[in-house]
Amino acid sequence: MNRSTMTQMLFLVVTATAGIYVFSGIRDDPWPVGLGIGMAIGGSAILVQYLFRKVQLRIVLGGIIGLYGGLIAAGLLTYSTGSLFHMTLEQTAPLDVFIGLIMGYFGLIVGIRAGREFHYAGSFLSFWLEGYRAVPPKLLDTSVIIDGRIADISATGFAEGVFIIPQFVIHELQYIADSPDSLKRGRGRRGLDVLQRMRTMPGLKIQIIDDDFPHIREVDAKLVALGRRMKAVIITNDLNLNKVAELQGVRVLNINDLANAVKPVVLPGEVMRVYLIKEGKEAGQAVAYLEDGTMIVVDNSRRYIGKNIEVIVTSVLQTSAGRMIFGKMKEPETQETSLRGERAE
């Protein structure tokens, strides 16, 4: 039996004893009624605790304060109405109940909403106090966490502000990590490891929030909705999420765009030495790769696959998926001389 269960049982005993004590001054035999009412009250309290176990404290407090404020407003309203029309207490009793229900309900709803929004107000206030007023919070999606490069970028200090990770993103990572497919399972576990690494980085602000949108099923759509509500930036490397978020007015930082931006600049006419590894799509083409993964397509060079050759850059194609370099072989005579020199060595 755990500590929580023992505490609940002790609470039931206390409420049952209190019920018997209260009814001992009212009835000659207080045991059945007092015991039953005391345990019913205790059980109801435990049930409420169970129902609200996942609700954040600020929302519960906001609801209680709002309900109390609504009932106070209802009392003032019925008192002023009774005084205005010279009504007695018996005449205003039905009005008290009716207005109390309405104002209590509206107070409860307003209090819950205020409790939910207080989190964002507090976050923005903390940004201002700590000098982050110009840096919006950043939401991390599943793909960028699994990718892992965001941890390295954050460690360098280039990414500032607070990184926010919703619980529904963590749940998706757990779902992927529990997948029967070994590849997906490895990706999910890598994402969880990246999160753990980021949480232990000194100076990095990681905040996990419980905000959710139960009426929205897709995680990407939830991220966009949360980004609009919090006026946050979404960090991703998912091209589709990038497009959807921008269409809805949410700013996006794409890790792939950053990776392309920091690649060395290559201009037409430059000469580079590359190693051809496979055939290209067109006749006579061969393909090489730079150290950063950039593909180089060389015309009329298929017979040199498996060798190092010198290439003159003719054009560079930049796309959202990456960068491609097109080139042609240097003068064949020079190329042959260079290859013979390599064989001689």
Q: Give the pLDDT of the chain (345 residues) as one tens digit per residue.
A: 566 677 778 878 888 788 777 767 666 666 677 778 878 887 777 776 676 666 666 677 777 788 888 888 887 887 777 676 666 666 666 667 777 788 878 887 887 777 666 655 545 445 444 444 457 889 999 999 999 888 888 888 777 778 999 999 999 999 999 989 988 899 999 999 999 998 888 878 888 888 888 888 899 999 999 998 888 899 998 888 988 998 999 999 988 888 777 777 788 888 889 999 998 888 889 999 987 778 899 998 888 898 899 999 999 887 656 678 999 988 755 555 555 555 545
Same domain, 237 and 320: no
Q: What is the pLDDT of residue 117?
A: 62
Same domain, 247 and 143: yes
Is the four-CA dihedral 160, 164, 170, 176 of positive or negative sign?
Answer: negative
Which residue range is the domain that position 209 belongs to? 138-261
Residue 235: give its domain's CATH number. 3.40.50.1010
3-state secondary structure of 78: helix
Length of the chain: 345
Last residue of a domain, one of 206, 228, 261: 261
> What is the C-alpha R_g of the chain?
33
Residue 331 domain-assigned? yes
**Rounded CA gap, 189 and 183, in Å?**
10
Same domain, 160 and 253: yes
CA distances from 191 to 144, 148, 196, 198, 315 (A): 9, 7, 9, 11, 37
Q: Which two tokens stand for residue 10?
A: 């002790």
Q: Which two tokens stand for residue 336?
A: 């042959």
Q: What is the pLDDT of residue 13?
A: 82
Residue 339: give its domain's CATH number. 2.40.50.140
Same domain, 156 and 226: yes
Same domain, 224 and 152: yes
Q: Which helix (H) or strand (E) holds 312?
A: strand 308-319
Same domain, 241 and 309: no
Same domain, 183 and 142: yes
What single-letter DSSP state applies at residue 28?
Answer: S
Same domain, 238 and 168: yes
Please name which of 243, 222, 223 lies closest in space to residue 234, comparing C-alpha atoms: 223
Q: What DSSP letter does each residue of 103-171 carry, written as one string?
A: HHHHHHHHHHHHHHHHHHHHHHHHHHHTT-TTS--EEEPHHHHHH-HHHHHHHHT-S-SEEEEEHHHHH
Please name which of 159, 110, 164 lies closest in space to residue 137, comparing C-alpha atoms: 164
Q: What is the pLDDT of residue 133?
A: 45
Last residue of a domain, one of 53, 76, 92: 53
Residue 127 domain-assigned? yes
User: Helices marked H in the chain — which ranges?
Assistant: 3-24, 31-51, 57-84, 89-129, 142-147, 149-156, 167-177, 182-199, 219-230, 239-247, 255-261, 332-344
Same domain, 142 and 197: yes
Q: What is the pLDDT of residue 132?
A: 43
**Rounded CA gap, 98 and 116, in Å?**
28
Same domain, 160 and 237: yes
Residue 266 domain-assigned? no
With vertex at residue 41, the alpha carbon angle to CA 38 and CA 42, rounded to the nearest 5 degrees, is 85
Residue 153 domain-assigned? yes
Last residue of a domain, one of 261, 290, 314: 261
Q: Are 102 and 73 in contact (CB under 8 A)?
A: no
Q: What is the pLDDT of residue 130?
A: 47
Residue 244 domain-assigned? yes
- Our count of domains for the chain comes to 4
Residue 340 domain-assigned? yes
Please name which of 106, 82, 103 lies closest in space to residue 93, comparing C-alpha atoms: 82
**Rounded CA gap, 135 and 256, in Å?**
21
Confirm whether pTM is higher than 0.85: no
Q: Are 173 and 195 in contact (CB under 8 A)?
A: yes
Please name which of 40, 41, 23 lies closest in space to residue 31, comparing C-alpha atoms: 23
**Residue showing tokens 């809805």:** 248
Q: What is the pLDDT of residue 10?
A: 83
Q: What is the pLDDT of residue 332?
A: 58
Alpha carbon dihedral 230, 232, 238, 240, in 10-degree steps, equals 60
Same domain, 175 and 242: yes
Same domain, 145 and 248: yes
**Rounded CA gap, 209 and 214, in Å?**
15
